[in-house]
Chains A and B, each alone.
Chain A
Amino acid sequence: MTNNIILLGHGSGGKLSHQLLDDVIIPRLSGLPQREQNDAAVLSHGGRRLAFTTDSYVVDPIFFPGGDIGDLAVNGTVNDLAMSGARPLYLTVGLILEEGLPVADLERVLDSMKAAAAAAGVAIVAGDTKVVPRGKADKIFINTAGIGVFDHDLEILGSGARVGDQILVNGTIGDHGMAVLAGREGLDLHSDIQSDTAPLHELVADLIAGVGRDLHVLRDPTRGGVATTLKEIALQSNVDLTLEEPALPVGEAVRGACAILGLDPLYVANEGKLLALLAPEAAGRALDIMHRHPQGRHAAIIGEVTGASAGKVYLRTAIGGLRAIEMLAGEQLPRIC
């Protein structure tokens, strides 16, 4: 059997997605080596550095507890810019609408895009709209592209992790993926799980102001979750990471829902979370900064860079055992962002 057709798993953000990028897409379009792939491209023009990125949103359902496809499309691109350390400035929006979509639904999505853009301090400056026949898309797909500017000369890259770095997350993990799942027709989890969709650029600006050069890596663990994102960082930086299971912040409702469905919160998507890898002497300060910010109240140090070598990620379990963490293999939850 060969993978000669596109499977849903190719969009999971996990290993199949990486294979598609590395084997099919990137060789044809850019040739950028894996080590240099980050959430945004960094461009220089007229002596200034700019960050440029794009992302498409195909979430099902389009309205879910804690948000909708509109604020997700704004916050997601704002966060991709923020993860390179840039200050987000401008967005463009591409809308692909399915014939039959109620205009009221479109208005609701656009209103929440407007509110999210205002909250993130970015301007939506260009856009495009297409309509496709019923069945050729699922209600609404949104593409956003964004430009940001750097107010500093720091280089925050996936390849920047160093031995001894502490790994911080700004709050509970798995909320977005489980909220989307809970909102899906036919799966009544009786939970109050809310998506964590939120812009993170202010939190990033505070971190940069507070710890500066000690901040080495920032990444938002969206599709594929914390596990897949840390594996990417370990591979890009040629380091080994070890996570401490008891330190992982997971909400009670997410833990319960994951246990029922046999899912691992480490692999569930987030839309308002970041992972920061920074020098050990700055970790306490960074944690204080996060705790003072509304997006970081439940921040925690969840592990550290334990060695320079093969890109392995380990988990020290609650009972003291050690196991490996790999990228998401297939798809854990379809169409979550």
Chain B
Amino acid sequence: MKYLDAFRDGAVARRMVEQLHARVADYAGQMTFMEVCGTHTMAIYQHGIRSLLPPQIRLISGPGCPVCVTPVDYVDHAVALSRLPEVVIATFGDMVRVPGSSSNLQHEQARGAEVRIVYSPLDALALAQKHPEKKIVFLGVGFETTAPTIAGAILAAQRQGLKNFFVLGANKTIPIPMAALAADPELQVSGYLCPAHVSAIIGPGAYAPLAEQLGVPCVITGFEPLDMLQGIAMLADQVLEGRPRVETQYSRIVRPEGNPRARDILAQVFAPCDVPWRGIGVIPGSGLCIRDEFAAFDAARRIAVEVEAPREHPGCLCGEILKGKVRPGDCPLFRNACTPENPVGACMVSSEGTCAAEYKYGI
């Protein structure tokens, strides 16, 4: 932790904030920077970064929380599976509270379903080894950071000949929706704070089309407060210079080539596919679907279950919030019908969701 203290130094932060204010003082326009990583969203709120920025710089949150962008019918599918007596749902904690059409996993657990919170897909694999009489279904939610470990778990299950380990897949990739949002004239994104750990896998080159073809500055930024302030300053400099490019602030982790081994595992197990994003709709090629060779581990293909017809809450603005078009306070449900203890939309339920962050930390 002493290492991290260097990235939270108050005196250095004050100097950086002063320099940023001076740098943009004469800029007459508005810079809108979007972060597309839930951990960045939380860091911005947790450290009160918005309260330190000059009025010329506005931060908006994009679709970077994997739980938030998981569609309601996926939750319904998981709920239906959890009701089968032989199924144990293994999942990262956030997923248990995401509302489906009429229930969620937390409520199913209270009614008797077996739902285990795990910290890694390998924990789910261990459950499958320990309970051969059960079908262990891991909820495969996440971007390029978590997807390789899920792919690794599937490969391990295959090596071990496990017949009771399954993944209900909803993995997604992040650069494709970034391009879709960059092209949206309503948003006018002036720059992206690119995700840190996703970039450690996919490498800076994945954002080159954003900068080169769409003219949007990109800075791969770490999660510590000084990382964030530096990333924002680098984006501001690109806007002031009028020279959009991909830069890496988080160079202590992100290598120019990314992580080729993780990408190999991803490509071995998953294939690109068209998937729906909650509130956004289907984005072609943005999903990671389990390849046919590994269909034996695909819960959607191997465990038959009837899933209810999906219903979204009519007043929920999660979709617009995920696209950065409105702020949580603009949603009529925010703090009223929709609270962390009784969330209506996924942006409120996930600990990395924009609404949850605004509810918890907003002043």
* Residues of A that sit less than 8 Å from B by CB: 1, 3, 5-9, 15-16, 19, 186-187, 246, 252, 255-256, 259, 261-262, 312, 314-326, 329-330
Question: Contact: B341 with A330, CB < 8 Å?
Answer: yes
Identity of the chain B residue whose Cβ is nearest the Cβ of A315 in the assembled complex = B48
Q: How far is the CB of A135 from chain B (nearest CB, A)?
A: 13
Question: Contact: A7 with B107, CB < 8 Å?
Answer: yes
B52 near A: Cβ within 8 Å? Answer: yes
Q: How far is the CB of B146 from chain A (nearest CB, A)?
A: 13
Question: Contact: B48 with A317, CB < 8 Å?
Answer: yes
Closest 5 CB pairs of A and B: A321-B48, A329-B340, A319-B13, A323-B361, A323-B48
Cβ 8 A contact of B104, one of A1, A312, A315, A324: A1
Question: Contact: A319 with B229, CB < 8 Å?
Answer: yes
Residues of A within 8 A of B10 (CB): 246, 318-320
With A and B bound together, what is the CA distance between A1 and B102 in angstroms?
6
**Interchain residue pairs with CB less than 8 A apart (28):** A1-B103, A3-B342, A5-B111, A7-B107, A7-B110, A8-B110, A9-B341, A19-B341, A187-B119, A255-B1, A261-B119, A262-B351, A316-B48, A318-B9, A319-B226, A319-B229, A320-B10, A320-B13, A321-B47, A322-B51, A322-B363, A323-B45, A323-B46, A323-B363, A325-B361, A326-B359, A326-B361, A329-B360
Residues of B within 8 A of A187 (CB): 119
With A and B bound together, what is the CA distance between A314 and B360 in angstroms?
11
Which B1-41 residues have C-beta < 8 A from chain A?
1-2, 4, 8-10, 13-14, 17
Cβ 8 A contact of B363, one of A252, A320, A324: A324
With A and B bound together, what is the CA distance between A9 and B110 in angstroms?
11
B188 near A: Cβ within 8 Å? Answer: no
B332 near A: Cβ within 8 Å? Answer: no
A-B contact count (CB 8 A): 102
B312 near A: Cβ within 8 Å? Answer: no
With A and B bound together, what is the CA distance between A267 and B55 in angstroms?
32
Residues of A within 8 A of B121 (CB): none
User: Range of interface residues on chain B?
Assistant: 35 or more
With A and B bound together, what is the CA distance between A320 and B9 in angstroms?
10
With A and B bound together, what is the CA distance between A314 and B51 in angstroms?
13
Which B122-162 residues have C-beta < 8 A from chain A?
123
With A and B bound together, what is the CA distance between A43 and B48 in angstroms?
44
Question: Contact: A15 with B351, CB < 8 Å?
Answer: no
With A and B bound together, what is the CA distance between A332 and B269 in angstroms?
34
With A and B bound together, what is the CA distance between A318 and B123 in angstroms?
35
Identity of the chain A residue whose Cβ is nearest the Cβ of B14 in the assembled complex = A320
Residues of A within 8 A of B356 (CB): 329
Question: Contact: A1 with B107, CB < 8 Å?
Answer: yes
Q: How far is the CB of B114 from chain A (nearest CB, A)?
A: 14
Which B54-69 residues have C-beta < 8 A from chain A?
none
Identity of the chain B residue whose Cβ is nearest the Cβ of A252 in the assembled complex = B1
With A and B bound together, what is the CA distance between A3 and B123 in angstroms?
30
B99 near A: Cβ within 8 Å? Answer: yes
Residues of B within 8 A of A8 (CB): 106, 110
Q: How far is the CB of B105 from chain A (nearest CB, A)?
A: 11
Q: How far is the CB of B350 from chain A (nearest CB, A)?
A: 11
Question: Contact: A7 with B225, CB < 8 Å?
Answer: no
B206 near A: Cβ within 8 Å? Answer: no
With A and B bound together, what is the CA distance between A286 and B104 in angstroms?
48
Question: Contact: A319 with B340, CB < 8 Å?
Answer: no
Identity of the chain A residue whose Cβ is nearest the Cβ of B118 in the assembled complex = A186
Question: Contact: B107 with A324, CB < 8 Å?
Answer: no
Identity of the chain B residue whose Cβ is nearest the Cβ of A2 in the assembled complex = B342
B339 near A: Cβ within 8 Å? Answer: yes
With A and B bound together, what is the CA distance between A329 and B359 in angstroms?
10
Residues of A within 8 A of B103 (CB): 1
Interface string of B260-287 (1 = CB under 8 A from A): 0000000000000000000000000000
B315 near A: Cβ within 8 Å? Answer: no
Residues of B within 8 A of A312 (CB): 363
Residues of B within 8 A of A15 (CB): 339-341
Identity of the chain A residue whose Cβ is nearest the Cβ of B106 in the assembled complex = A7
With A and B bound together, what is the CA distance between A321 and B104 in angstroms?
36
Q: How far is the CB of A290 from chain B (nearest CB, A)?
A: 25
Question: Contact: A322 with B99, CB < 8 Å?
Answer: no
B97 near A: Cβ within 8 Å? Answer: yes
Question: Contact: A320 with B52, CB < 8 Å?
Answer: yes
B329 near A: Cβ within 8 Å? Answer: no
B362 near A: Cβ within 8 Å? Answer: yes
With A and B bound together, what is the CA distance between A9 and B49 in angstroms?
30
Residues of B within 8 A of A318 (CB): 8-10, 13, 47, 225
Interface string of B226-244 (1 = CB under 8 A from A): 1001000000000000000
Which B166-214 residues have C-beta < 8 A from chain A?
none
Which B37-93 residues have C-beta < 8 A from chain A?
45-52
Question: Contact: A329 with B341, CB < 8 Å?
Answer: yes
Decide: A319 near B1, CB < 8 A? Known: A7-B106, A15-B341, A324-B362: no
Residues of A within 8 A of B2 (CB): 252
With A and B bound together, what is the CA distance between A256 and B2 in angstroms?
10
Of A5, A261, A321, chain B has the most CB atoms within 10 Å of the CB of: A321
Residues of B within 8 A of A320 (CB): 10, 13-14, 17, 48, 52
Cβ 8 A contact of A324, one of B17, B341, B360: B360
Identity of the chain B residue whose Cβ is nearest the Cβ of A6 in the assembled complex = B110
With A and B bound together, what is the CA distance between A7 and B341 in angstroms?
10
Question: Contact: A319 with B107, CB < 8 Å?
Answer: no
With A and B bound together, what is the CA distance between A52 and B50 in angstroms?
46
With A and B bound together, what is the CA distance between A320 and B48 in angstroms?
8
Q: How far is the CB of A10 from chain B (nearest CB, A)?
A: 9
With A and B bound together, what is the CA distance between A322 and B50 in angstroms?
9
With A and B bound together, what is the CA distance between A255 and B47 in angstroms?
16
Identity of the chain B residue whose Cβ is nearest the Cβ of A262 in the assembled complex = B351
With A and B bound together, what is the CA distance between A321 and B342 in angstroms?
29
Interface string of B336-359 (1 = CB under 8 A from A): 000111100000000100001001
